[in-house]
């Protein structure tokens, strides 16, 4: 089965991203396909590379990045939500004269159309949020 996953909350304040990660991992381990993980609202904060949680806590961003590398996942951060919250790749950063980018490995920035497309292409869409 082909799943699309939407994550509406950032790491640490809500469990949403953790639950989405565990679901995604379990789906992959059981032979399912993840068409895309779309990060929206504060969920875009999962894609910042600048988070440094304490060593005895999980690193939510790193978990996603590693899962993406292992399974060639498509992790998409909504551009409009990301701009509001200061998540930028190099192109966006240059365009807005910010001097540095902070998007984490394995994540890419794109538009809301990617969420709609995921809904169309996937067999099931699950939303994790507050």
Range 78-97, binding other proteins (CB under 8 A): 80-81
Tell me the Cα Rg of the chain: 14
Please give the backbone phi and psi of residue 85, each rounded to the nearest 5 degrees, phi first. Answer: -110, 5
Q: Is residue 13 involved in binding other proteins (CB under 8 A)?
A: no
Which tokens sit at 127? 């939303």
- For residue 92, give Cα distances in angstroms to 19, 38, 43, 100, 119: 29, 18, 18, 9, 26
Stretch that binds other proteins, among 8-16, 50-58, 69-77, 97-105 (CB under 8 A): 8-16
Query: Does the annotation mark 86 as catalytic?
Result: no
- Which C-beta is closer to other proteins: that of 24 or that of 61? 24
Stretch that binds other proteins, among 61-69, 88-96, 99-107, 112-120 (CB under 8 A): 112-120
Stretch that binds other proteins, among 20-28, 45-53, 66-74, 90-98 (CB under 8 A): 20-28
**For the chain, where are the alpha helices, taking DSSP H only?**
16-29, 60-71, 79-85, 90-95, 113-121
For residues 7 and 103, give the distance between their C-alpha atoms in angstroms, rounded to a whole number. Answer: 16
Q: Is residue 41 involved in binding other proteins (CB under 8 A)?
A: yes
The helix/strand/coil state of 37 is: strand
Q: Which residues bind other proteins (CB under 8 A)?
A: 1, 3, 6, 8, 15-16, 19, 22-23, 25-27, 29-30, 32, 40-41, 80-81, 111-113, 115-117, 119-120, 124-130
The residues annotated as belonging to the active site are 78
């Amino acid at each position: 089965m082909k799943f699309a996953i939407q994550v509406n909350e950032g790491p640490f304040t809500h469990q949403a991203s953790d639950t989405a990660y565990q679901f995604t991992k379990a789906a992959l381990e059981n032979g399912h396909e993840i068409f895309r993980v779309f990060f929206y609202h504060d969920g875009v904060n999962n894609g910042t590379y600048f988070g440094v949680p304490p060593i005895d806590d999980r690193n939510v961003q790193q978990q996603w990045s590693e899962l993406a590398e292992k399974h060639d996942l498509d992790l998409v951060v909504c551009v409009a939500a990301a701009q509001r919250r200061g998540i930028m790749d190099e192109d966006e950063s240059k365009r807005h004269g910010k001097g540095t980018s902070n998007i984490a490995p394995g994540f890419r920035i794109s538009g809301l159309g990617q969420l709609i497309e995921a809904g169309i292409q996937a067999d099931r869409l699950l939303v994790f949020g507050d």
